[in-house]
Structure 1
Amino acid sequence: MDLPLRGQSPNTPASSSKYHHPYFTPAEVEYLSEKQRGKLSLNQEDKVRQNACGFLEALGARIGFPRRTIATAQNLYHRFHLFFPRKDFNYFDVSLAALYVSTKMHDTLKKPRELLAVSYAVRFPELAAKSKHPGGEVDLDSMDPQVVEHDRQRLLAVERLMLETICFNFTSRMPFPYVIKIGRELGATKKLTKLGWRLASDCHRTLLPIQYPPHTIAIGSIYVAALLTSFEQPLPPPLTPGSRTRHAHEIASMLTTHGPWEKQFHSQVEDLEDIAHTVLDLLIQGLQNPSANTSPSTPSSPVPHLSHSHQQGQNQQHQAQPAPYNADQLLRLKIAMRETEHPPRPRQPLGNADPSALYGGEDNNLIGRNEGTVRFLFGPPGVVGNGV
């Protein structure tokens, strides 16, 4: 008779499999989020989520990480709390671990101590003011070594759990290249595509990237950009005959209805409407709370080694620029969309029709435990080419 491993429950199987799920249905996200939310309200949970995303933005801007590294870190943060309760972790630790894993995924690696030095500067501005480092980083040698080592160990501990949530699958596909390609195919102007790029970046402050593939996020962002640009705006003059460029009104009208574009871009109008409402809610929240600081100031990666004072000057300049829309206008847009939108399309979870059955049993309980042997697979059950 086989005996269980030391510290292992007699009822625990000697070996099990954990599958990586690249995307989750809205029902799965709702179920898992509610399970890990605890006593927090929806508003409190969203506030913590936005604080974490803003923290990652600040870290990425200081260090000079490309947009893909910051966006992936935000995505990893969201995914982590589908499996682990928020009450057991503070968002600083989870955010730092997410950023550390993201640097490995995108070959922009930084050591944990380097990330900690920058995080202390963001969290404790008074320490950064005393620092002589040109980038405003905190000199770790001037801090209590036990505190620094304790924070480093916590970062590495959360990193291990985060790697389990992705089943050690380091594949990452971003929506940003798709925004450029789809914008070109749709005949969008450079200005419209630029706004779509920024909105695709904002999407990573939400749970959208763990619900939809990057090409759907991309076309959804262009759709929102077209709506923002055309809503309550007069029709522009007709374009030159034979021009491939389309006005925002035309793009918004085309993507609002079913058509050949759905097959061409492998997306559906119902998904674009869901993306639009989520992004509009985020923009409304940002207008009502300017400190949320949505959208990077430019659709390019942050400039490496940019001084802290220079960054503050850029941020102040960006915040001084009025938004091209206001909260009341966005609310009117949401109401107008509700009057003509399509009912949500049914989406089946991967491997099981009941999200509570799929994620309420062994598949979820295996994460973060050292009981038995766990085999991590790169795709859901039945997918060809699973890795170990």
Structure 2
Amino acid sequence: MAPQPDQSPAPAVNGTTAEEHPPIGPPSGLSVIRTQYSSEQSLRQMLKNIGYDEAREDTLRLKGVQLIDTVRQSLQLPVRTFDTAAIYYHKFRMRFPSHEYAYEDVALASLFVACKAEDTIKKSKEILCAAHNLRQPHDHKTPDDKVFEPQTRVIIGLERYILETIGFDFRVQYPQKLLIKMVRKMFPREDASQQEEGKQFLRVAYDMAIDIYKTFAPIKQTSFTLVLAILELTSLLLDTDAEKMRAFKEAASWHSEKAAVFETLLDLLDLYTQFPKSTKIGLRFELKKLMDVKIEINNLMTREKYQRYQGWCDRCAPDPHDTRSLTPSSITSPATNPSLSGTTSVKRKATSTEGTMRFVFDADEARKEKALVDRYFIDEYEEHEIEVEEPIKEPEPRHNSRNTHPPHRGMQGDHGWPGYHRSSRHGLHNDRHRSRRGHGY
């Protein structure tokens, strides 16, 4: 006789058997979906919300990225760590007003987080020590110095805000690697006569790939768009043969759009014409050359009917007069630059939601979860009309107070007159018809 199968229930898993399913309930917390790129219009709206002062903030943006680059070179970190730190720095500054923190602290904290993200581990004291030695070379210190203890706590505190700002989305584009491949395609190694020209072209293009992180282009465009714009601008500045750029003229074949390439080109040219001393390329070429290239690109965009910014909506555009702070503060003010005292403070924005914030990267899963949660939190009402007959009350008959009711107290002898307020102020009580002094009949 064959053995009977075991009919015993399955072992319990987490307190429930296999036949029983745990109750389905709403997941706790608030789900947030982070996007890797933003448009120029959305960036301006974010800057408007924090009271962006254009003249002041541009200077702080350039100084912060320059500090990240110099410290990165001092610590001999790869360029991809610089790319990641610069993007973290831009995203943090678009969320918090600059008067709530010191830009130096945020720049070093962004580099600290980028070292962890790119697996180029550096301690916070090492980063602070390198920045101190660059700023004060006559006062050389070591990372073990106790003077860096307060600043270390500041950097670690800012790390949390940076992670929350980027939404734990560590995706960052690295255009330098793609740039080298495209330059090799333009100047093949087999042709020895073009090697020197290719090296000169790469020197300018590679430095331009560093300067582009001093703009908001890396958080607006993809790696292919950045590289195509760098190649186009470098060829225009160096007067490179147009035949070498023919393979990169069609932006669609390189996963990009021509309008996005033009926008990135003008972002770079605005940087070189307005802040040439804060860049690596701005001082290598004359201002007239840069302006001629800018005019040429603007004319080309006008002929091909491209806008300055891709996907710009005039009806949704913010008022340009509101993008500046109403009360701009001085950069050297101790109240607005906590780095002078070695401290910083970032105010956490109050939110109306409660619970743990969770960051979701799959949009479809987030929509399914939202549909599931709405079943428990959305109140649905149904309207019903019910006809109800109400009996009409008969009006009560009026009674004559002269016949039915006794006279009101205080109205004796004055039937039909309203009640009179008696007062003992003038002595007698029954003095209604008595004349006052000076007011006789």
TM > 0.5 fold call: yes
User: For 1:101-120, what aligned pairs fall within 5 Å after superposition?
Assistant: 101-120=113-132
Given that 2:31 and 2:366 are in contact with CA atoms closer than 8 Å, whether structure 1 keeps it comes out as no
What does residue 157 of structure 2 align with? 157
Q: Which residue of 2 aligns with 1:222?
A: 231
Where do 1:1-388 residues align within 5 Å? 15-38=29-52, 40=53, 42-123=54-135, 125=136, 128-131=137-140, 138-139=141-142, 143-144=146-147, 148-186=148-186, 189-230=198-239, 247-251=240-244, 261-287=250-276, 290=277, 292-294=278-280, 323-341=283-301, 342=304, 343-344=306-307, 346-347=310-311, 371-378=354-361, 381-382=363-364
Give unpaired runs (5+ residues) of structure 1: 1-12, 132-137, 231-246, 296-321, 357-364
CA distance in 2, matches of 1:121, 1:211: 34
Instruction: Quote the offset at 1:182 in angstroms.
Output: 2.7
1 or 2 for the larger relative contact order (CA 8 Å, sep ≥6)? 1
Distance in 1, matches of 2:106 and 2:205, equals 28
Q: Aligned-residue CA RMSD in angstroms? A: 3.3
* Counterpart secondary structure, 1:335: helix
Instruction: Indicate the structure (1 or 2) with the bigger Cα radius of gyration.
Output: 2
In the TM superposition, residue 122 of structure 1 has moved relative to its aligned partner by 2.7
Deviation at 1:92, TM superposition (A): 0.9
Quick one: which amino acid aligns to residue 24 of structure 1? S
Q: How many residues align?
A: 299
Identity percentage of aligned residues: 23
Q: How far apart, in 1, do the equivalents of 2:272 and 2:246 lie?
A: 22
Which letter maps to 1:120? H
Question: TM-score scaled by structure 2?
Answer: 0.61
Task: Report the CA distance shift for 1:228/1:253 in structure 2 as closer, same or farther (over 3 A).
Answer: farther
In terms of fraction of residues, the more helix-rich structure is: 1
CA distance in 1, matches of 2:70, 2:157: 23
**Deviation string for 1:94-147 (max 9, x for gaps)?**
101100111011111101111111122233x1xx4233xxxxxx2355554xxx
TM-superposed CA distance for 1:284, in Å, is: 2.3
The CA deviation at 1:368 is: 8.3
Shift of 1:212: 0.4
Identify the residue that residue 305 of structure 1 maps to in structure 2. Answer: none
Q: 1:22 to 1:192 in 2, by over 3 A?
A: same
TM-score, length-normalised on structure 1?
0.68
Distance of 1:16 and 1:384 partners within structure 2:
11
Contact 2:126 2:143 in 1 (8 A): no
Where does structure 2 lack aligned partners over 5 or more consecutive residues?
1-26, 189-197, 319-346, 369-441
Against the structure 1 CA distance between its residues 140 and 173, is the aligned structure 2 distance closer, same or farther, given a 3 Å change threshold?
Answer: closer
Alpha carbons 2:211, 2:279 under 8 Å: kept: no
